Amino acid sequence: MTPPTLLQAGDLPDWALDELRALFRVVALPADPADIAPFLAEHGPAIRGMALRKTRVDTALLQALPALEIISSYSAGLDNVDVDAVKARGIRLENTSQVLAADVADTAIGLTLALTRDLVNADRFVREGQWPRQPQYPLGRSLGRLRVGIVGLGSIGLAIARRLAAFDARVAWYGPRPKPVDLPWHADILSLARASDLLILTCPLSDATHHLVDAAVLDALGPRGLLVNIARGPVVDEQALITALAEGRIAGAALDVFEHEPEVPAALRQDRRLVLTPHIGSATEETRRGMAEHVVDTLAAHFGLTGPRAA
């Protein structure tokens, strides 16, 4: 029996590609844009599945794949996918949000503690020999006594909320509609920001959330307010954040994602009130392995195939 044709649209670990090749006829989307049209003309009509990572999936690409049944994405975010167009075609769309939720939530809590207790600067303080000259380090903030607002309560947001409960933090949240959870819901982000000492962003990037955190939200958070972003960089209006920091209208931020990453403005890199990490929310050996396994297993199950780990 001829195996289904699968489009590799983005880099995947070698072992995962080996597993896919054992199950499918795998064809890889060319890296050179000039080669894509002839490639799709040749292979597009036969492609029934897609293993996706970062590649833009728009209407033009979908039109070249008339037999496409499923997209399995090696990520939680789907901002590179025209989700409405995919749904309109009835194409199954899978991501790895459940797989990476725990590690991203751990990163959010780590960033929150680093921010509230000023751990990065405290480390530098000791390493630079300042302790003997200044016995009392400046006081931090107590996470358990803060009002924390979570923006977006999907798999990652819920995992963060569970962890915050262990710190006795008071947690509320904002999203487009209420959910059956035992946490206060705010109908708009300005309301949540006014009621919070700390905002943690976990929402997906979309037209509705692009620059969701703007000057007005930062002002609502206030001059003692703190911001943590482990969602997507463009959820925050980066220039508005830089201005708010320069004018003392917000106390600090911890950012794992940036509007134009990997480029990070000097104004952010040089501000000691910030904790900055290079988009490492899900970057553990175990979770990245699990994400790739999910891509392979989802595709195999859709076509009724048995992968090597299920054999």
69 with 128, same domain? no
Residue 84 lies in a domain: no
232 in active site: yes
Residue 309 lies in a domain: no
| pLDDT at position 308 | 64
127 with 175, same domain? yes
268 with 143, same domain? yes
272 with 291, same domain? no
Rg (CA), the chain: 22
Residue 144 lies in a domain: yes
279 in active site: yes
* pTM, two decimal places: 0.91
CATH number for the domain harbouring residue 144: 3.40.50.720
155 with 228, same domain? yes
pLDDT in tens, 112-170: 999 999 999 999 999 999 999 998 999 999 999 999 999 999 999 999 999 999 999 99
Residue 281 lies in a domain: no
Domain that holds residue 246: 99-276
68 with 125, same domain? no
Residue 255 lies in a domain: yes
259 with 211, same domain? yes
Exactly one of 261, 273, 288, 302 is catalytic; name it: 261
Using H for helix, E for strand and C for coil, what is the string for 111-132?
A: HHHHHHCCHHHHHHHHHCCCHH
Exactly one of 117, 194, 279, 302 is catalytic; name it: 279
Please report the sign of the dihedral spanned by the C-alpha atoms of residue 112, residue 262, residue 251, residue 270.
Answer: positive
Per-residue burial over 146-163, b = 16 or more CB atoms within 10 Å of its CB, e = otherwise: bebbbbbbbbbbbbbbeb
pLDDT in tens, 16-72: 999 999 999 999 999 999 999 999 999 999 999 999 998 999 999 999 999 999 999
What are the backbone angles phi and psi of residue 107, rounded to the nearest 5°? -60, -40
Tokens of 214: 């703007």
172 with 41, same domain? no
39 with 163, same domain? no
For residue 221, pLDDT over 90 is answered with: yes
34 with 120, same domain? no
260 in active site: no
Exactly one of 232, 238, 259, 293 is catalytic; name it: 232
For the chain, the domain total comes to 2
194 with 213, same domain? yes
Per-residue burial over 228-237, b = 16 or more CB atoms within 10 Å of its CB, e = otherwise: bbbbbbbbbb
| pLDDT at position 133 | 93
Sheet of 170-174: strand order equals 185-186, 170-174, 147-151, 198-201, 226-229, 252-255, 274-276
